[in-house]
Amino acid sequence: MKIKYELLKNDGKARFGKLITNHGTFETPMFMPVGTLANVKMLTPEELKEAHSAVILSNTYHLWLRPGEDIVAKAGGLHKFMNYDGPILTDSGGFQVFSLAKNKEKDITEEGVYFKSHIDGRPLFLTPEKSIEIQNKLDSDIAMSFDECIPYPVSYEYAKKSTERTLRWAKRGKMVFNNENQSLFGIVQGGEYSDLRKKSAIETVKLGFDGYSIGGTSVGEDKETMYKMIDDAIEYLPLDRPRYLMGVGDPIDLLEGIERGVDMFDCVLPTRLARHANAFTYHGKINLRNAKYKEDFTPIDECDCYTCKYYTKAYLRHLFVANEGLGGRLLSIHNIRFLIRMMENAREAIKEDRFLEYKEDFIKKYLDF
């Protein structure tokens, strides 16, 4: 079956809802950790579950190259392949258009996108149809339309051209999409231009998707621009479908997104920061490599995660300084749990009509450090 979304409560624009999937029912707003290569780096599914993580992201482009979607299909789909029985969302490869296509004018064509494999350099060509076909074989719960994540800053002309092309790609992808057990999301682009965002949202909704994403944010723009991008798009998205803000994971941005009506977020930030010794705390982000933690035998934070239950900052610092992989693993657990707990608290606040109060309080503590 397709996913279902139930909007249960509004607090201003902030929404509390339920996402019903083939692999469980979960509350929104939610944060989704990223597991590009069929794994959330360093973590087992059990550890994700212990952090109360729900949906995870995986990636069409990367799994296409390695191990190949047919291998995953033979394994019985992504869930079986990676032993994860929670919901999985697959990104379409659209972000790789942004991050890997070298010459945008030349490599991005109406038909599709030319890549050079980042593994062996061989030429690749990805189309909207191919992306959907791969995601079908991966058998994720939610597939994403193939899009171009537009860089920032960008000329109006380029943003317009790219956004219109992304719309045509969305239509083409939807045409070939035929997996009854999978849902398909459309993605709003438009760069930093309000009228393009509006048009992109309206036209994408016209095509009709199971959920809607706001893409092309957190690509180097300042925060005010990003929040405007969200506002410009979300106004035209239907209330009865989940809204997914792609690639956003900074704690403050998550709250700003929720306030604007976003239901789902994904980001590499908690896991990448963890691998580089940066920990989220309720009093700001800290770097555990810092010498000041050498003899700090307290946990990272007041936190209910496995890491904070059993390990100290001094020990984690030692692991990072000694280049022991366990440091990144333990900190990934904490950082993911941190964002997920933020979401839990945000949902409680929305239910009790005090989201703005919660947000202001959180940000005050987070920055006053």
- Positions that interact with RNA (CB under 7 A): 33-36, 39-42, 57, 59, 62, 91-92, 94-96, 98-99, 144, 147, 149-150, 187, 213, 215-219, 223, 246-250, 253, 266-269, 271-273, 275-278, 285, 287, 289-292, 294, 321, 323, 325, 328-329
**CB of 10 or CB of 39, closer to RNA:** 39
Closest separation in Å from C-beta 8 to RNA: 26
CB of 266 to RNA, least distance (A): 5
Supply 273's token pair. Answer: 């920061």
Residue 238: is the preceding peptide bond cis (ω within 30°)? no
CB of 40 to RNA, least distance (A): 6
- Residue of 11, 253, 263, 266 with catalytic role: 266
CB-count exposure of residue 96 (10 Å: 0-12, 13-18, 19+): buried
CB of 307 to RNA, least distance (A): 16
**Cα–Cα dist 201/188, whole Å:** 5
Least distance from C-beta 356 to RNA, angstroms? 21
The smaller minimum CB distance to RNA, of residues 10 and 153, is found at 153
Q: How far apart are CA 55 and CA 34, in angstroms?
A: 9
> In the numeric block, which tokens belong to residue 15?
């929404």
Catalytic residue among 11, 91, 147, 250: 91
Is residue 361 flagged as an active site residue?
A: no
Residues paired with residue 24 on neighbouring β-strands, in sequence order: 21
Is-catalytic flag, 91?
yes
Nearer to RNA, 229 or 352 (CB): 229
Question: Which residue, 207 or 268, is less far from RNA as judged by CB?
Answer: 268
CB 257 within 8 A of CB 230: yes
Measured from the CB atom, the residue of 91 and 259 that comes closer to RNA is 91
Q: Which residues are catalytic?
A: 91, 266
